[in-house]
A and B are shown apart, each in its own frame.
Chain A
Amino acid sequence: MGGFDKKPGGTSLTENAAGAQSGADPGKKTLTEGLPGADAAKTDPAAEVTKVLNGPANATNATKAFELIKAMDEGQQAAVVTKIGANLRSRLASHLERSAITGATEQTALRKCFDATPAGEVTTLCHWVALRFNLKVTKTSDSTGVAWDKVGLQRCWDVLQMLPAAHVEQNADLKSLTRYRSTSIEGWASDGGEAAIGYGPKNHLNTDVEVGDFTDAKDPLRGKNIFDATVRHEIGHRVDAGVGGPNYTKSDDGGGWETWDGSAGMAQRIVNASGGKISSWPDAAEKTAIIATLQHMIDARKPNEINTRLATLPFLSHAATDAKQKAKLDDIKGDDAVAALRVAFSHQGPWDLPTGGVKLGNRIYQESYDWPQWVSYKQDARAKKFSRYQFRAPGEWFAEAYATYYQPPGNKGALMAGLDDKTKAWFDAHVDPQKGKGGTTPAGTPPAGAGSAGATGTTKASGAPAAGAGGGG
């Protein structure tokens, strides 16, 4: 431990030295007093940290050094971490173990270490984030992976520290935070526990806000920092299953989502849902052929081929010259099932349409992903949407709701209130460990622009006060 008393909140080396000089506790001596270099350590707070870290490179010494830093006041922490140099910062960060990060004081000191680490030391910066949030922090393992930078890591830190610990450092479904090369700010999450964030040199993480790419003007996520919302969104994917999201999104309040892995049977479902002329086609054999043709088109994912595929059917192949055949073809093309299929595929982004596509009954049917996955949802649920992208799939619905619920400043779910009160109430009851209490801004920080009570900080399960700025754009 060296010659510094540990006190909650940190103790200044200068204060210690002054106390000794004033004779406040003349009977006690620090362990290093009288030893060679002890005087230097008193006047140079970095000396003892350096001395410890220059010893064997192991967790014990890293912990000792961190304890020394932790005991300093915040100004000294930054100065010392700066002074010890890149090699010792790396040694400290890479050997310090997660078990040393036990509470608010440690988290605050860790952030000081992060802030004092130059941007060029990316590996060390990743270690700090990894220690704080109990995650592997690296580039994605595929060839799109690219090294993090300090701006991205700092924003991630600011976002993650405001989320419940149960969703981040204590979340068994979240194992890594990775970065990949992208020209736009985006992300993905895998079932293996990876939350991947994509961005590139042309993106401005601190200032880029959503201006309409995936929201309408009145949507809660409009105007918000895209990077921060993306990080929350991807974390949301890794929280979803653990809090019962899939069941909620099946309910009417959650959009009434239905999901099918694969495209089998979709043509029949869509024809039934439409209730149009195909569903009541008088000739059973022709009806079967029509539905089979639509199904083949769905399987091939070729909506532009609907007309040509229909034209190959024997009873339609002379529609250009035969009035009866033309009438049949017009009936088929006039069925909303066919209209819906023309704009229902994932590469057409149907969720981006103000209507979501062509409504069949009270539902929208669409391909969510190209593997493929098909879904349907209740169209009127769009009236309380948080973004257009929310209506890509039930998982995206939840992730966008999660990003909205924890959007600072103000109370959790403030942006949901009045728009989707039932979902806010469900998040309060089932998603947030604090049952909606606490806020989305750091403890002790006035909730800028919030103007509402209760925005007193997102208290972590560990009791840590959140430090640092929020990321709301």
Chain B
Amino acid sequence: MVGKRRGLLVLALWGALGGAACSNTVVAAPAGSPDASKTNAKGTAKVANTEQDIAVAQRAIAQELNVTAGDVKVRPVEVNVPGITVFSASVNPAKAGRGVTRTGIIEGGKLYTETDAMSRVARAWHYGAKRTVPPETVAQVFGALHSATAESSPFIDEDTVQTYKKVSGPKRAAAVAMPKETTVDGQPAVVYYLTSSSRGTPFSAVTAIVKPDGKVEIHAQPVLED
């Protein structure tokens, strides 16, 4: 998603999480990565909140799944949402079964998921008639939050879209595209496409509608090949 960043609201958090802030449960920026040099935010209140939020998510998931905190890897999604940390987390398969994943946000020390989380993000962005973030950013966050229990991946990179067209079936190849802004009944919306690790969430076209009160409504349409 770095390649498609636009505007001022997209900031990397990896650098802010570097050094002593990193534990074995927070994936740090690798040396040489484009994010590793972005350490200008270190020491700010935002950084502290992110670290705390990750710890909150880690504890909450560990408690939920009856595992230790060390069995939970929390990865922040690298998008700046004021006051909010967006994350995905994976859990030690030996402790919680194969492929157990959690996604959500931490806001004010509390964990929210799916459309509750998306709505809080939309309000934090003041997203509405004024499109305060690009559609790729909306898709990146809402796509990541699509399911609380499965990691999803929105298409936000043109080269990935083109590669997917070559290796997928005809219907999905025809459908897949970069996120785009639209309106539904006069309300701002973003259309994007996503894949998922979940058997129950195949490749889907998703329309995220942001209501005037910031509430997000999701319409997902699976695209099946037959």
Residues of A within 8 A of B (CB): 141-144, 182-186, 188-191, 194, 196, 211-214, 216-217, 237, 289, 292-293, 295-297, 299-309, 311-312, 333, 339, 342-343, 345-349, 352-355, 357-358, 369-373, 389, 393, 395
Contacts and interface: CB of A to CB of B under 8 A. Distances in A.
Contacts of B197: 346-347, 349, 369-370
Nearest to B5: A308
Given A190-B94, A349-B203, 14 more contacts: A190-B98, A292-B32, A296-B30, A300-B30, A305-B34, A307-B3, A309-B2, A309-B33, A339-B163, A347-B88, A352-B202, A369-B98, A389-B199, A395-B98
B226 A349 contact: no
A357 B168 CA distance: 8
Nearest to B65: A142
A100 B94 CA distance: 34
Given A312-B32, A347-B152, A304 B196 contact: no
A304 B194 CA distance: 13
Contacts of B96: 142, 188, 190
19 contacts: A142-B65, A142-B66, A188-B96, A190-B94, A190-B97, A237-B98, A295-B30, A299-B27, A300-B30, A300-B33, A306-B157, A307-B157, A307-B159, A347-B88, A347-B151, A347-B195, A370-B90, A371-B90, A371-B91
B32 A342 contact: no
Interface string B55-89: 00000000111100000010100000000000010
Contact of B202 (A292, A345, A349): A349
A370 B226 contact: no
B225 interface: yes
Contacts of B222: 213
Contacts of A305: 1-3, 33-34
B33 to A, nearest CB: 5
A237 B93 CA distance: 13
A237 to B, nearest CB: 8
Given A214-B199, A300-B30, A305-B2, A142 B168 contact: no
A189 B167 contact: no
Contact of B196 (A194, A212, A312, A349): A349
Contact of B167 (A143, A184, A301, A353): A353
B160 interface: yes
B14 to A, nearest CB: 8
A179 B160 CA distance: 37
Interface of B: 1-4, 14, 27, 29-34, 63-66, 73, 75, 88, 90-101, 149, 151-153, 156-157, 159-160, 163-164, 166-169, 195-203, 222, 224-226
A223 B221 CA distance: 20
Given A212-B224, A307-B157, A312 B34 contact: yes
A292 B32 CA distance: 9
Contact of B92 (A342, A355, A371): A371
A308 B65 contact: no
B83 to A, nearest CB: 24
Given A142-B64, A189-B97, A354 B169 contact: yes
Given A312-B34, A353-B167, A216 B153 contact: no
A143 B196 CA distance: 23
Given A188-B100, A189-B98, A303-B160, A348 B33 contact: no
Contacts, number: 173
Given A190-B96, A296-B32, A345-B153, A371 B73 contact: yes
A307 B169 CA distance: 25
B33 A343 contact: no
Nearest to A304: B157
Contact of A188 (B2, B66, B99): B99
**Closest CB pairs A-B (n = 9):** A184-B200, A188-B97, A296-B30, A347-B151, A212-B224, A308-B2, A370-B90, A347-B153, A304-B157
A182 B149 contact: yes
Given A217-B226, A355-B167, A312 B33 contact: yes
Nearest to B93: A371
Contact of B95 (A190, A237, A395): A190
Contacts of A306: 157, 159
A143 B148 CA distance: 14
Nearest to A306: B159
Q: Which of B66, B90, B163 has the most CB of A within 10 A?
A: B163
B137 to A, nearest CB: 12
Nearest to A297: B33
A186 B198 contact: yes
Nearest to A393: B98
Nearest to B144: A347
Contacts of A292: 32
Nearest to B157: A304
Contacts of B66: 141-142
Nearest to A196: B97
Q: Which of B97, B100, B200 has the most CB of A within 10 A?
A: B97
A195 to B, nearest CB: 9
A353 B14 CA distance: 31
- For B2, B152, B164, which residue has the most chain A Cβ atoms within 10 angstroms? B2
A143 B195 contact: no
Contact of A304 (B1, B92, B95, B202): B1
B138 to A, nearest CB: 15
B157 A214 contact: no
Contacts of B94: 190-191
B171 to A, nearest CB: 11
A355 B168 CA distance: 7
Q: Which of B195, B222, B225 has the most CB of A within 10 A?
A: B195
A277 to B, nearest CB: 16
B166 to A, nearest CB: 8
A304 B156 contact: yes
Contacts of B151: 346-347, 370
A352 B33 contact: no
Contacts of B224: 211-213
Given A296-B32, A305-B1, A214 B97 contact: no
Contacts of B14: 300
Given A142-B64, A347-B195, A371-B93, A214 B159 contact: no
A301 B153 CA distance: 11
